[in-house]
Each structure stands twice: as structure tokens, then as C-alpha cells.
Amino acid sequence: MSPLTQTFDHYSQQKRQQQWKHLAILAILLLTLLLSIHSIIIEDTDWQRIGTLEQVLASIGRFAALDFSLIPHLGVPMLETFMMACLGTLLGLFFSLPVAWFGALNVTPSRRLLYPFSRFLMTLSRSIHEMVWALIFVAAVGLGALPGILAIAMRSVGFISKIIAEAIENIDPKPVEAIRAMGGNNFQVMYYGIIPQIKTLVIGTIIFEWDINIRRSAIMGLVGAGGLGLTFFRQMAMYNYGGVTVVILAILTLILLGEIASHYVRKAIN
Amino acid sequence: MSTQSQTQNRQLHWQRYRYPQSLIQFTLVLLALSALAYSIHFLNIDLQRLLSVFGRVGEVLAERYFPPDLAYISQPGYLQSVIESIQMAYLGAILGMLLAVPLAWFAAWNVTPARRWLYPLARLAIMGSRSVHEMIWTILFVTVLGFGMLPGVCALVMFCIGFAGKLFAEEIEVIDMGQVEAMQANGANPLQTFMYAVWPQVRTAWTGIAIYTWDVAFRAATVVGFFGAGGMGWYLKRNVQQLETERVAAILLSIVLLVLVSELISAWARHRLSRRRAGNQLQNA
């Protein structure tokens, strides 16, 4: 047997093994899917309660009767939601600076202790849904805009600090060394050596996160943190479905404005 | 005074701000600060409370939420709801991604079959489902369909369309157009072009995105029950309203643990995938 055929046999054997593995994964996925469909659509759903297609369409139709009388009352909640998103993002940035500093491998003060700890904090912050953060803070500081801001800030820390930490790990070390060689202390190294190099990326990240945070702050009112979510919740509680649609349209308007603003700011930076 | 530095492949010119620029800079900072002060005033935030908030959180957690009622979350009813959450996330993610694939195809500028009407329509669908938060989708579907797991799945489907659709479309927009042009030159219709020129190029990247989407959908599925859509969220809501704080603590703990586990699994799977992808690229090169 020539070496070439041997290699080919080895290759085809590997290929076959891989195909079997893929088939097995696919079979498991399909089986789980069927199980889920069975328990959700057949066992759990009460089709009698949902009724016929016409009834479903009728209940969707109730949302179509827009309640325009609500519009004058939407200005203040919209402003509140907007401010909550801004303050939450800023506070999130404030919290994420130390986390990013500790979590960047090349500048962290202690690789043994602080580095894994801040990596864990990043994952934790992203893992917990903003609703859960809001519930925790509402329990701690009471109702109002403050728990919403804190919840948004905590949720943003993970993403912002991860991006900043990665940016710090990729910086050009020469300016840092130069400042060290001139006798600059840690703060001066940070301020003159690191920050100018990552500034653009950080600002871009903050704008991206701010855009998402408008979405998030619009639901903070559902657990008692003010803004458009509270208006939404009240309209829902009054079964005023037309008003609900108007509130959703207001949220969409706010998000659209945010998207336009972030587009122009990003253009101005580059 | 100017220093130059090479960062990656971009040349940076550093310079001090001179007269008109420095004034603009100063005004912008001043405006931002006054907007900040005004919004703190408008939202009626007590700054002293802000400083003490973390001590307060610790105190509340230690006093009322400790020890977590672990016996409560090991009951079969709760464990059943955990499985329900996983199933909802699974079904929602798969259905959402099935719908997201054609939408991403239509919403990618370089391969969309009709730039005039299909492209803006698909863009609008993806943006619309992304803009509305999954909690609001949940409330709307619960209103229309009643309580249960079905509205939760529907909400997650909408969420996944927005989330995966955007990422899928972005992945299509950076493919190598040579293969697409070759297919078109041979007279292939848009579907054939998609199947044989686009799909093979994005397959691996999409698998990674799919794993990530499932992970994010599971994170959302743990709380959609808060508004009556089945799963663990329903237990959370009930105990929050009954002020059973130790049970709430246990439920929150279980949510965090499950999400961390799912994140680890998805990170591991994506890592393996990207390693395989790098290996394949090495072989092809």
C-alpha cells in the first residue's frame, strides 16, 4: 500500500467518523425539539382558551384602536426613560473602569487574585437579566428612577469592561514603557499612555451600549422604576389596549432617535 | 507638539487642541455636565443614597434574603419549571432562527433578491422585533394567547428573529462575492445562489451565532415567566409578591447558576467551533 492511499484511507475514515458525529448531534437536537414541541404545544397549551383564529385576530385588533389622547402625557416619561438610559450608561462606565483595569492581563495589579475575580464579575454582570437586577435594587433602595439606573449600570458593566479590557490588552506597549522610563507613576501611565490609545474604541462601545440601554430602560418601569415602562404597565392594567400600542410607538420613536443620534456621533468620531 | 504612534495598522496623530477647537471642546463638556446635573435633578435622585447603595444592598441581602431557601427550589414543581424554561428557550431559539435565516438573506444588501422592496421590508422586520424588548413581547403575547408556555415561546421567537437576524445578515454582508457572481453568471436563480454560494461560506459562523442565540434566549427565558409565560419566572413573580424573600433569593441563585452554566457550555462550544474553523482555513490555504 502506497503512503498516498494510506493517507487517503485515514482521511476518509476520519471524514466518516465526523459524519457520524454530526448525525448523532443532529439526532439529539431533533429528539429534544420533538420533546419540547410535545410538552409545550400539546400538553401545556390550552387551545380551548385561545379559541379560534378569529378570536385571536379580534384580540389583536383591540390593539389597533389607537388612543391618541395619551400622547400629551408621554413627554415626561419619555424624557425620564432617556435620562435613565444616559445616567445608567455613565454609571456603568464608571463602575467598569476598575473592573477593566483589573481584568486586563497586561496592567492588572494582581494576576492571581484580581484578574480572575474581575473576569468573574464581567460574566456575572452579563448573565443576570436586567429585570433581575432591577428587582434586587428595587428591594434595596425602594421605588423610583435610582434602582432602574443602577440595574442598567450593573447590566452594562459586563460588556463595557470586557471590551475595554480587551482594548487595553491590545495596546501598543511603547508609549507605556516610555512614560515608565521617564519616571511616570501608575496614574500617569494610565492617563497619558493607555487612555489616549483606547479612547475611540471606548466611546464607540459606550454609544453602542447606550443604544441598547434605551431599550432596557423602557421596561424598568414594569418592576417599579419609572419611565415609559410604568406608563405601559398602567395602560395594561386599565385594559386600555389602544394606549398600550401608543406607548410602544413612543418607545420605538425613542429608540429610532437614539439610533439616528448614535449613527451621527459614530460618524463624527471616525 | 505632536507625537506619533503606530497602533495596529492605523496612524494616529496626536495634537493639542488649539483655539477654536478647545473652545468647542470646553462648551461640549460643559453642556454634557449641565445635562447630567439637570437629569439628576429631574429624576429626583438623592446622591447620598447613591453612595450608600451598595452597603444597603449588602445589608438587605444579608438580613432578608439570607439564608436562601434551598429546600424550596429542590421541589419537583420548581425543577419541572426549570425544564420548562429550557424547553421554551430551545423551541423559541430554533423557530426564531428558522425565520431569521430567510429574513437575513433578504436583509443583506449584497445578496438580497430584491433591493427595492424585499430589502427594506426585511430590515424593518428585523429592526422592529429587535427594538421591542422581549418583556414587552411577552406581555403582548400573554394578553393575546393567555397564560402558558406558548406566549413565552412566541416572545422568544420574536426576540431571536431580531437578535439572530441582525448577526446573520452582518455575516452575509462580508462574504466573498466571487462565488455569488460565478453562480449568477451560470444563470442560477436567487435560491440556488443562496444555497450554493452564500450558505457554504456562512455556515460555520452561523453555527456559532446560533449557539450564542440559544444562550441569550435561555437568559431571557428564565424571566419571561415573570409576566405569566411559564418557566421559572412565574415562581419568581409569585414569591416576590408574597415577600417570601428567602425563596426569592434561592430562585435568583438558581437562575444565576443556570445562566452561568449555559454560558460556559456555549463558550466552550463556540471555542471548539472557532478552533475547527481556523484548522479548516489552514487546510484550505
The B residues from 61 to 90 touching A (CB cutoff 8 Å) are 61, 64-65, 84, 87-88, 90
**Percentage of chain A with pLDDT > 70?**
99
What grid cell was written down for A134?
432591577
A51 belongs to a structural domain: no
A56 belongs to a structural domain: no
Which of residues B13, B29, B64 is at a domain's end? B64
Note the pLDDT of residue B119: 92
On whether any CB of chain A is under 8 Å from the CB of B203, the answer is no
Could you tell me if B60 and B86 lie in one domain?
no
Q: Give how many domains chain A has, as a whole number.
A: 2
Chain B residue closest in CA terms to A47: B145
To test the contact with chain A by mutation, choose from B3, B29, B135 the residue with the greatest count of A C-beta atoms within 10 A, namely B135
Residues of chain B with C-beta less than 8 angstroms from the C-beta of A35: 87
Could you tell me if B41 and B143 lie in one domain?
no
Residues of chain A with C-beta less than 8 angstroms from the C-beta of B226: 131
Could you tell me if B10 and B104 lie in one domain?
no
Which of residues B30, B64, B98 is at a domain's end? B64
Q: What is the pLDDT of residues A106-151, one digit of tens each?
A: 888 888 888 999 988 888 888 888 888 888 888 788 888 888 999 9
Contact A44 B84 (CB under 8 A): yes
Q: Compute the mean pLDDT over every residue in chain B, rounded to the nearest whole number.
A: 85
The interface predicted TM-score (ipTM) is 0.83
Q: Compute the mean pLDDT over every residue in chain A, rounded to the nearest whole number.
A: 86
A53 belongs to a structural domain: no
Average pLDDT over residues A52-68: 83
On whether any CB of chain A is under 8 Å from the CB of B57, the answer is yes
Contact A248 B132 (CB under 8 A): yes
Could you tell me if B155 and B253 lie in one domain?
yes
Whether pTM > 0.80 for this model: the answer is yes
**Percentage of chain B with pLDDT > 90?**
26
A50 belongs to a structural domain: no
Could you tell me if A185 and A236 lie in one domain?
yes
Contact B148 A32 (CB under 8 A): no
**Percentage of chain A with pLDDT > 90?**
19
Whether B15 has a pLDDT exceeding 90, the answer reads no
A127 to chain B nearest CA, in Å?
6
Could you tell me if A8 and A80 lie in one domain?
no
Q: What is the pLDDT of residues A255-267, one digit of tens each?
A: 889 888 888 888 8
On whether any CB of chain B is under 8 Å from the CB of A207, the answer is no
Q: Give how many domains chain B has, as a whole number.
A: 2
The residues facing B5 across adjacent strands are B12
Contact A146 B135 (CB under 8 A): no
Structural domain containing residue B119: 70-284
Chain B residue closest in CA terms to A173: B7
- Under the banding of pLDDT at 50, 70 and 90, the label for residue A208 is confident
Three-state DSSP string of chain A: CCHHHHHHHHHHHHHHHHHHHHHHHHHHHHHHHHHHHHHHHHHHCCHHHHCCHHHHHHHHHHHHCCCHHHHHHHHHHHHHHHHHHHHHHHHHHHHHHHHHHHHCCCCCCCCCCHHHHHHHHHHHHHHCCHHHHHHHHHHHHCCCHHHHHHHHHHHHHHHHHHHHHHHHHCCCHHHHHHHHHCCCCHHHHHHHHHHHHHHHHHHHHHHHHHHHHHHHHCCHHHHCCCCHHHHHHHHHHCCCHHHHHHHHHHHHHHHHHHHHHHHHHHHHHC
Contact B150 A222 (CB under 8 A): no
Residues of chain A with C-beta less than 8 angstroms from the C-beta of B42: 79-80, 83
Chain B residue closest in CA terms to A133: B252
Structural domain containing residue A20: 3-45
Could you tell me if B48 and B12 lie in one domain?
yes
Which secondary-structure segment (H or E) carries B92? Answer: helix B76-107
Note the pLDDT of residue A73: 85
**DSSP assigned state of B65:** S
Note the pLDDT of residue A16: 87
What grid cell was written down for B104?
437575513
Whether B83 has a pLDDT exceeding 80, the answer reads yes
Could you tell me if B242 and B172 lie in one domain?
yes
Q: Which of A54-68, B7-21, B196-210 has the highest mean pLDDT?
A: B196-210
A to B CB pairs, distance under 8 Å: 159
Could you tell me if B35 and B167 lie in one domain?
no
Q: What is the pLDDT of residues B132-157, one digit of tens each?
A: 889 999 999 998 888 888 899 999 99
Could you tell me if B238 and B97 lie in one domain?
yes
Q: What is the pLDDT of residues B103-112, one digit of tens each?
A: 999 999 888 8
Could you tell me if B200 and B117 lie in one domain?
yes
**DSSP assigned state of B194:** I
**How far is B188 from A165, CA to CA, in rounded Å?**
47
Chain B residue closest in CA terms to A135: B240
On whether any CB of chain A is under 8 Å from the CB of B53, the answer is yes
- Under the banding of pLDDT at 50, 70 and 90, the label for residue B282 is low
Could you tell me if B145 and B273 lie in one domain?
yes
On whether any CB of chain A is under 8 Å from the CB of B204, the answer is no
Could you tell me if B13 and B108 lie in one domain?
no
